[in-house]
Structure 1
Amino acid sequence: MNNENNLATLPPISTSEHLSKEEEEEDEKQETPLGVSSAHEPQAHSVSLKEGGQNDNVEEVKDDVYYERLQKEKLEEELAHLGKDNWFTKFIVQKTWIVVLATIVFAIVMTVTCIALGGFELSDEHDRDYMVWDSIQMKNWDMLELSKEAVQTNYAGGIQPLRTTSIDKWTTSITFECKNCSTILTADYIKEMYAVEQAIISDANFANFCLAVSSTDSSCDMSRSYYSFSKNFASNINTLTQADVDTYLANIRASESLYFQNNVFMETQFTQNNTISQKARAIYVFAGPIEIDGKRWKTYTDDEAGQEEKMADFSLDLEKRFKTVNTSLKVQLYNRAWANYKEAETTINDFSLIIVSFTFVFIYVSFHLKSIFLASCAMAAIAFSYPISICLTRFVFQISFFQSLNLVAVFVILGISADNVFVFTDAWQQSGTYSPLNPDDEDRHNNFQPRMNYTWKKATKAISTTSLTTAIAFLATGFSKIMPISAFGYFASTLVIVNYLFAIVTFPACLIIFERYLSDKCRYRKFIGDVCTRMINKCRKPKVPRTHNQSESSEHVENDNVEQIRANMSQQNDGGEEEQDLEQQERIVRKQSKAEELPEHEHNTLNSERGIEYFFRVYWNNWINKAKIIILVFVGIWAVLAIWRITQFEPATEVIQMLPDSHYVTKLTNSLRNDYNTGENDNTIQISFVWGVKGINKDGVSSWDAADRGKIIWDDTFDMSSPTNQQRILTICDDLLNSSLVKDKKVTCWVKDFLIYASGSNPPTTISQSSFYTQLQAYLATTEGQNYYNDNSIGYLNGTLYFMRIEALAVQKPFQGYEKTNPVYNQWEDLKDNYNKASQTGVNNVIQTGEFHWAYLATEKEFANGAITGTAMSLSFAFVVLIISTLNIITATYAIASITGIVISVVAFMEILGWTLGILESLAIVILIGFSVDYVVHLANHYVESVYEDRYRRMEEALSSMGISIFSGAITTIGSGVFLFLATLVFFTQFAVLILSTILFSLFFALVFFTALNHLIGPQRNQGNMKYYVTDPAIKWTKKKLDGCFRKQEADGSQPPQDAESHNDQ
């Protein structure tokens, strides 16, 4: 039979399933996917393999020839379209060195500019960094801090007296622990503790940080700067006996007040009836502003980072000092400034892993591209993308905030950039196998224009889709109400876009340079190429092309091979699975036979297939096709379980834990929080009731500077000078003392002490309005009044009481989570509202704040809300991009289902690991959409672009074309993140888990779920094709309407518009 004479009558045959009669009739009325008219379509349909005998063999061969012809027509059409010159690729090819050198100069200038402007300097950390600034809780805290600052900065010309304001972050605990003892409360241990405590006090710098006596006396107030149990025995410490200790402990058991004075120094097992403790601590209160090394800070809020740095240095010196004391006790120091220093030190060490990740990616990219030069270009693009993005973000977009969170983007861009390079290089290598793009003249090394036209357009489409979705996913985090997360989103989005520009501008020029000057000389490339070739040849049978003479007998050889397969299969049991295996083996034989008859340049294309491409095309695709039902059932079960686990996800109770539980800083932090009885400023929630503030003026306030709160707006109605208002405040103080919300009746009410002083009676009585300010000024001259003023309880300035506050210790423990803490916050809010309703004008606008602990409630809520909002935005945009990219609503829906599955799986995995919804987790939920879209979109695009009409061969072509790019992209992304497991910081190790889990789930849902879904119900022929059903009909309708309009104008004797004439002429 002469097959060539019958090609025009060959019908397209679906090997995966047969059409119904109605579908066949409907299909005959439509155009084929490539626009071949139905007049050229065959009218006969092939018979099944069971019934066809020899005929079905011939029809199947015709089917392969038919699709090979369509493949060739598609390739010719693609080459004709993509191979056209455009000014950009023409410039890259003709001005290659200009492109590369201009890019290098621009990158260097931007980098130097960034360094000169301080772009690489990290922003100072602040308590407000991760708070929701527009929440009512944060506003109340800001009003308290601004009112303190306003009074202190305007006192004595803006110069606050030295060390008059205690700073909570500087409050230092010195912990003692005895080894193998029943109690530390023995005479010998108390002497050892006292010796250590005195060594700290005797340090030369102690006087530069201790709390001053008053605003006029800067000497150390030891009664308020130093608290400890051993201090009780200072008068006889050298002669102290165990009997003295036992007597004092007996007094504690007999006196509740004495117990409360000392329990804060002991661990929780120490009670009034059980005066035993294996741990003890001393507490030092340090204050600002400070003066040290010739520098004098104006207020305690002036250059907070600079003052904290001095405090950290002082703490490190104290560590060295008390280690010189001879003691058998385990002694440790802790304050927040010291802990921040340790965290920063660890961060610097961990970031050295960037070099390791960078090196790994460079080695792998070199191996994959078989070129050190091209790998160097790719890594240079990554290296330069970072400073350029910093410069753009900080100095062009004016997003000044930049902290260690932004540095994590390095590990993200390593994988993304490598994926872009792989896609571009694979397209370039593919273009090299097409003879129309590769002239055989002697000047072929200089004539790369056709290849670059094809490569640039083809690769840019894929890179643009993945880069755009990734950038938008990052950009979605920019809408977060939490400033560092928002800043990270904008920066990472900029980084992705800058790296994308390097990929489509600079890297193509590098490819031209390599092909012109290095490809034939690079021994590394030859060596790697030879090694890979030998490895690949061991993995698959080589395709040996036959000569032209052999092709005449190819059909007979092919039929003989098919008949042999049939004979072998007939000896096995009949069944659907054996018939599918038979069809698959026959198809492989015929594909090999047809390959032998292809032109030489198409032989080169087939024979250049790499081992991993062969694996995905043959083995992987066939396995997924057989197991598709099982796979989809498994994914369905997993999705239900994953959604259930997500519902158990709880918000984080702290901003972030930087160091692991095994780290000594974390151990000490947890010990102070959990092992010791709490004091007034230690692991408690201090509630402040504040009068005299109304709001905040935020004109000119930066959205990226946590230290810039704005300016306080005073409450002009505030006035407590009248006796009735004085009495109202006294009533509120008494009410707080008896409130069930207050712990151990710990209320600080300066008004009561002031009225005792002013009235001369206890209990206090009110004083006249006329004498109020006179008495208040006199009270502030006393030590007690000075202490209240320095603690910012009395906001008195220039003869006016601008604000005042009363403090109470909440029963609620901190860091208990939103579900437990928010109801307590609401109770305090209700109490505040009741006070305002029952109060008269002048004292009826009180606010209440738990400072950090109340403000963090809004942060916890925003973690969840931000993750949900960001995910919805990212998924919606990704769906739009997928529809535009694939022009197939069905494929786009399957792709977005895969991406959703990845998100659900990773979030569920986080919850299974015991993570809580904090900074990293809320970030991850959004940005992993950008990670996960890459692999699916590659497969989706190739699936819909295939000339084949059946699901099996469409998926086969997609896996063969993109399997290696997906695999290589996954390797580099995993490799860039896996070294983070060596880090100490929890944030980095968690990020490593995030990268690894995201990539693995992305691979599963792309190569397994998406593939299986398309094998089962993927679109065939023109199903879901928006171009076929929407775009083309719309264009035809528009053209028809325009033609009708033009004809009508001609009939009326009018001239068509000039652009229409031009269009018709063309």
Structure 2
Amino acid sequence: MSSVERATTKVAGWYVRQPCTCFMGCLFVMIALSGLSAALGYMNLMTREDTWMILDGEMTQHFRAFRAARDSVREEYDTTTNEAKDTESERLFFFYKTDVEGTGTLFTPDRLLSICELEKTMMVNNSLVKAVATADSVLSLFYGTAADPAMQSVPAARTISSYDWSCQKLSQSEVDNVVNIMHTDLASKGPASLYARFVDPHFRNTSQTAYSRTFAEFEVVPKQHEKTMNPAFEHLGLSYGFLRSAFQGDEDRFVQSGDIRVRVTYTGINEIQKMALPDFGLSFISVVLVFGISWLHMKSSFMALAAMIMMILTLPIAALFYQGVFRIEYFEFLHILVVYLVLGIGADDVYVFKDTFCHVKKAEFPFAKPGRLTEEQEIRVLALTFQRAGTAIFNTSFTTALAFASCSVSKAMPMRTCGWYAATCIVTLYVLTLVYYPSAVILWHRRLQSKRCCCPSLGERPMAIVPEGATKEKKVDDEVPEESGDLVEKFFERFYIPVMSKQFGGVRIYALFLMLLLLGVAIQGIAFAMQLTPPRSEEVWFPGNHMLLSIQDFMADNYYTPSFDNYAIVTIFFGIAGLDKTGIQVYDPGAFTGTAIYDNSFDLTSSEAQTALLDICGKVQNITCDLQGCDNSGYDKKTFLMQTTERTDACFLKDFQTWLNGPLPTGTNFTTQLKTFRDTANVGDYYGDVLRKEVNFKEDIGFINGELKYVAIKFRSVMKKRLPFSIGTEVRDMLREWTNGQRGQLPGSLQSMKFHGNGEFQRYDMGEELINGLFSGIAIAMPISFLVLLSSTQNVVVAIYAVLTVGSIVLCVLGFCKSAMDWDLGIGEAIAGVIVIGYSVDYVVHLAHMYCEAKHFGHQTRDERAKFAIRNMGSTIFAGALTTMLAGATMFICFFYFFIKMALLICVTIMYSFLYSLVFFMAVLWLAGPEYSFGYLCLPKWCTGDSHKEHEVSIVNKDIQETNAEEVVNKAKEDRWHENGEISEQELDEGTRSIQVP
């Protein structure tokens, strides 16, 4: 007896002799560990800033380096930086529309009155709003008052800061007067008009607008930012419900309010965090479905319940190791997906273990009369189950865990940690399946097997009795029925195997046809997968009627000039060499920005450097851009700089020159006077609404400890915020090329010239990393899968077939994303790519392992080995695939479109995995699978496990002897069926099976 056999026999003895103690002990430990995990606050969803940033990305480092330098400046001049604020700033947009079709005009007395009644709920009748910092409201044009009475006749000069919000109904002539002034100004100035952001593109020709909008920035009570919107929600008839957001409107994403339609956006509610918990709650439906399938497959509610308890407790137990032991302090809504992985993979593990136990029992002790085994027999069966099921489950668990662990190469921290948590859960499932589930199997076998009533007695079943003269070699007579398999097993035995093994002229024509058919599908999958591109549009997270969906496109399409706040500020800075990342927390990168590394050669005191910087300020105005991401279609010259009647570029050196009203000084005098300008100048004297909030002389002219460390110039671009990856990267690359070209013309003191887009460009670092991480993960996971397959099968040919099958599955799923759904390679697809590898290897590994295992049972030809694999693993794979698909399908009713996409991808992945493993892979094995010893590695006996061969051959001899008995059994069963019309339930569950041992 080998060391493995001795160890498994010893462990099996513990479970057999004390099954209740082992079961309750394991259950108690699992519950205790889960309780500890919950008590420590693990698995709580976290909301942290900048978690998706790529710290090694060029644009990310530029942005964070500038922020770090700016924070250092703030520490000197802002003594309230570290003090707790008594208010929080939040931003609100109201978008207005006449009707569903967008006809007529909003500028009527009745509709303006409706707008006023709505905005009053936020502006004055809201106890949680402490101040209105900014109110860029369409109402100011009609109800507002100019600060300078002489400018009252100019609607653009009016504000509502002093309005009493009486909301009186205006006369038609008052409204028409304002509309005429707006039309005249916009007709002459075009997009540069200050009225352009309040009207739609048709206003210039018709003097009518179906759309308008209001923007406001509030100072609200801390921790009450969500409740701040309640008055507006009540006015509009909106509210949160189960799987429904208050921001969901009608099909046009508006809701009716009197005689106007309204659309709202508000920054004070974290929509993702608020709606993630209801989606997480849907996993309960998955649990119920998996329980039902498990009950049907294992024919035992007890076994199904024990399995569900194990799967559910796996999540907090794995979190205990993930967060407590490994100290990975991050858990967000992306990790919710792991629930569905655990349900699918956990079900597969228990199916394999239970089915292996039954197969071993049938082969080892084929008694004439059904019943439970003796302790010695149970030990024997359980020990063999440990050896064979343990190996099969280890192969799939190890490969799947490594597929998820390949996320370690990703620089996106949420992707990396989600992969680690998934791998931890899979390993935990493997351990619990072999530690906790065996005792459940023994209890079921002794007390519950074959008992069909809802509340069976828990007494032990009678012992199985061998009739006098019966031996292991002669196990049946014509009175003993063979167990009738379920529908799935009948399908494999009566249809699948005959079709796949059918030969015409020495060729298995059906297997060849199916292989060629799926090979063609794989080729088209490759073709479409190669067409996947980075996102061409903004990533969709919400349902189609959500008000936040495609808000940038909505504003661009329906307003003459969208609000300037929706266009990116680009900052060009000098004096910062890079970013020191020391001290940045890996799992909370937003908590500490890092430390700026300053350029020691930076110097602006020379006339040469000053002239060069002023030259850059001038050239910024002439940057041209004809790319899709530059919204300058109404401009005579396609500039990257926004064109309005106000200044849209901020050059502090020009402002300093104006302040001096003379030439720029040099040397120490320059530094002294520049610091005075920085501390005393008023931004409002130089800039209007377009840039006033973005310019801060104290932060743009970076004096630290009295020394000028950096400077920055800014401008409002025509690049809309949150552009999709493929469009935004073109703009970034254009600006990078321009910057590199200008740097070569600058003096040595200004060579540290860099730029950032206030966080816009750093998002594209993340997009690039997701794409690179996907292919890097595949490049790592595929070779690892091959090595595991080679180790499992010890056959090079089978391992190559298997890994090619896995590759086909991955490419087919990615191709489906393009061919059927026309998706891009976004976050969802990148995550799916990792999930696909994890799922696709599972079934292929099972079949490959069984095919090669058949050699040790005396099966030498490819036909015998293929049948052996299907008979042992076919029904198990079917049940596992069905369970995983149903578990994932519950996400179809989730709130987030991301989860709906994941549901589709999981189902498609399982579909392709099922087809390619049972059809393509098995067809290849039936056609060209290795026979006899072909393709096997030359390894020592102790490594190959041939020490077990003597026992296995004895089973083979038994199986051969059973062949003749099988005919007798079938004949006896057929006769009894014709005579009685039925076979007992006990015979259905306990009769002799022809399926061999896995």
Quick check: TM above 0.5?
Answer: yes
CA contact (8 A) 2:577 2:597 kept: yes
In 1, Cα distance between the equivalents of 2:275 and 2:571? 35
CA contact (8 A) 1:92 1:509 kept: yes
Q: Provide closer, same or farther for how the CA distance between residues 932 and 245 of structure 1 changes in structure 2, counting only shifts above 3 A.
A: same
**1:134-179: CA deviation from partner (whole Å, max 9, x where unpaired):** 0111111112222333333444435379989997xx4321111112
Query: How far is 1:974 from its partner?
Result: 1.1
In 2, Cα distance between the equivalents of 1:253 and 1:633? 65
Query: How far is 1:673 from its partner?
Result: 5.2
Which has the larger displacement, 857-866 or 710-719?
A: 710-719
Which residue is 2:624 aligned to? Answer: 740
Which has the larger displacement, 277-286 or 741-750?
A: 741-750
Which residue is 1:695 aligned to? Answer: 578
1:335 and 2:266 aligned: yes
In 1, Cα distance between the equivalents of 2:861 and 2:761? 60
CA contact (8 A) 2:265 2:547 kept: no
SS at match of 2:209: coil
Which residue is 1:930 aligned to? Answer: 838
Q: How does 1:164-243 map to 2 (within 5 A)?
A: 170-179=90-99, 181-205=103-127, 208=130, 210-211=132-133, 224-228=134-138, 230-231=140-141, 234-235=144-145, 238=170, 241-243=174-176
Which residue is 1:15 aligned to? Answer: none
Residue of structure 1 aligned with 2:225, choices 311, 314, 317: 311
CA contact (8 A) 2:9 2:379 kept: no
Which has the larger displacement, 484-493 or 955-964?
A: 955-964
Query: How far is 1:758 from its partner?
Result: 2.3
Which residue is 1:115 aligned to? Answer: 38
Residue of structure 2 aligned with 1:279, choices 211, 214, 227: 211
Which residue is 1:357 aligned to? Answer: 286
In 2, Cα distance between the equivalents of 1:261 and 1:891? 71
CA contact (8 A) 1:476 1:870 kept: yes
CA contact (8 A) 1:166 1:285 kept: no
In 2, Cα distance between the equivalents of 1:790 and 1:323? 45
Query: How far is 1:244 from its partner?
Result: 0.5
Which letter does structure 2 place at the counterpart of 1:942?
M
Which structure dedicates a bigger proportion of its chain to helix?
1
1:883 and 2:790 aligned: yes
Residue of structure 2 aligned with 1:490, choices 414, 417, 420: 420
CA contact (8 A) 1:110 1:391 kept: yes
Q: Provide closer, same or farther for how the CA distance between residues 781 and 636 of structure 1 changes in structure 2, counting only shifts above 3 A.
A: closer
Which letter does structure 1 place at the counterpart of 2:491?
F
Which letter does structure 2 place at the counterpart of 1:398?
R
Q: Provide closer, same or farther for how the CA distance between residues 435 and 139 of structure 1 changes in structure 2, counting only shifts above 3 A.
A: closer
CA contact (8 A) 1:655 1:918 kept: no
Which residue is 1:1021 aligned to? Answer: 932
Which residue is 1:141 aligned to? Answer: 63
Which letter does structure 2 place at the counterpart of 1:348?
L
Which residue is 1:869 aligned to? Answer: 776
Indicate the percent of aligned positions where both proteins have the same amino acid: 23
Which has the larger displacement, 430-439 or 378-387?
A: 430-439
Q: Provide closer, same or farther for how the CA distance between residues 85 and 459 of structure 1 changes in structure 2, counting only shifts above 3 A.
A: closer
Q: Provide closer, same or farther for how the CA distance between residues 601 and 843 of structure 1 changes in structure 2, counting only shifts above 3 A.
A: farther
Q: Provide closer, same or farther for how the CA distance between residues 961 and 1033 of structure 1 changes in structure 2, counting only shifts above 3 A.
A: closer
Which letter does structure 1 place at the counterpart of 2:316?
P
In 2, Cα distance between the equivalents of 1:962 and 1:835? 66
Which has the larger displacement, 667-676 or 940-949?
A: 667-676
CA contact (8 A) 2:543 2:897 kept: yes
CA contact (8 A) 1:445 1:516 kept: no
Query: How far is 1:970 from its partner?
Result: 1.0
Q: Provide closer, same or farther for how the CA distance between residues 162 and 185 of structure 1 changes in structure 2, counting only shifts above 3 A.
A: farther
CA contact (8 A) 2:539 2:724 kept: no
Q: How does 1:936-955 map to 2 (within 5 A)?
A: 936-946=844-854, 947-955=858-866
TM-score under structure 1 normalisation? 0.74
Which residue is 2:982 aligned to? Answer: none
1:103 and 2:26 aligned: yes
Which letter does structure 2 place at the counterpart of 1:92?
Y
Residue of structure 2 aligned with 1:899, choices 806, 810, 833: 806
Pair member with larger Rg: 1
Which letter does structure 1 place at the counterpart of 2:97?
E
Residue of structure 2 aligned with 1:374, choices 263, 286, 303: 303
CA contact (8 A) 1:114 1:387 kept: yes
Query: How far is 1:939 from its partner?
Result: 1.8
Which letter does structure 2 place at the counterpart of 1:948?
H
Q: Which has the higher contact order (CA 8 A, sep 6+)?
A: 2
In 1, Cα distance between the equivalents of 2:108 and 2:114? 10
Which has the larger displacement, 345-354 or 505-514?
A: 345-354
1:262 and 2:262 aligned: no
Q: How does 1:602-613 map to 2 (within 5 A)?
A: 606-607=482-483, 609-613=485-489
Which letter does structure 2 place at the counterpart of 1:911?
K
Which residue is 2:251 aligned to? Answer: none
In 2, Cα distance between the equivalents of 1:328 and 1:967? 57
Which residue is 1:634 aligned to? Answer: 517
In 2, Cα distance between the equivalents of 1:280 and 1:497? 56
In 2, Cα distance between the equivalents of 1:888 and 1:326? 71
In 2, Cα distance between the equivalents of 1:83 and 1:612? 36
Which letter does structure 2 place at the counterpart of 1:115?
A
Which residue is 1:320 aligned to? Answer: 234
TM-score under structure 2 normalisation? 0.78
Which residue is 1:27 aligned to? Answer: none
Which letter does structure 2 place at the counterpart of 1:754?
D
Query: How far is 1:241 from its partner?
Result: 2.2
Number of residue pairs the alignment of both structures matches = 857
In 2, Cα distance between the equivalents of 1:673 and 1:336? 20
Q: Mark the runs of 5 or more structure 1 residues left unpaired by the alignment.
A: 1-76, 212-223, 294-308, 528-545, 550-594, 1037-1066
In 1, Cα distance between the equivalents of 2:787 and 2:387? 21
Residue of structure 1 aligned with 2:439, choices 509, 520, 523: 509
Which residue is 1:129 aligned to? Answer: 51
Which has the larger displacement, 992-1001 or 665-674?
A: 665-674
Q: Provide closer, same or farther for how the CA distance between residues 348 and 443 of structure 1 changes in structure 2, counting only shifts above 3 A.
A: closer
Which letter does structure 2 place at the counterpart of 1:413?
V
Which residue is 1:451 aligned to? Answer: 381
SS at match of 2:597: strand
CA contact (8 A) 1:685 1:850 kept: yes
**1:828-881: CA deviation from partner (whole Å, max 9, x where unpaired):** 123323443333354442210123331122222222221111112111111111
**1:210-250: CA deviation from partner (whole Å, max 9, x where unpaired):** 43xxxxxxxxxxxx543436436524884552430343134
Which letter does structure 2 place at the counterpart of 1:648?
Q
Which residue is 1:88 aligned to? Answer: 11
Q: How does 1:924-1003 map to 2 (within 5 A)?
A: 924-946=832-854, 947-1003=858-914
Q: How does 1:651-1050 map to 2 (within 5 A)?
A: 651-653=534-536, 656-666=539-549, 670-672=553-555, 674-679=557-562, 681-707=564-590, 708-720=592-604, 724-741=608-625, 742-745=640-643, 747-751=648-652, 754-755=655-656, 758-760=659-661, 768-769=669-670, 771-773=672-674, 775-780=676-681, 784=685, 788-789=695-696, 792-796=699-703, 799-814=706-721, 817-912=724-819, 913-946=821-854, 947-1027=858-938, 1031=940
In 2, Cα distance between the equivalents of 1:601 and 1:433? 16
In 2, Cα distance between the equivalents of 1:1035 and 1:821? 56
1:479 and 2:392 aligned: no
Q: Provide closer, same or farther for how the CA distance between residues 407 and 166 of structure 1 changes in structure 2, counting only shifts above 3 A.
A: closer
In 1, Cα distance between the equivalents of 2:113 and 2:282? 46
SS at match of 1:86: helix
CA contact (8 A) 2:87 2:130 kept: no
In 2, Cα distance between the equivalents of 1:790 and 1:314? 33
Q: Provide closer, same or farther for how the CA distance between residues 871 and 879 of structure 1 changes in structure 2, counting only shifts above 3 A.
A: same
Which residue is 2:501 aligned to? Answer: 625
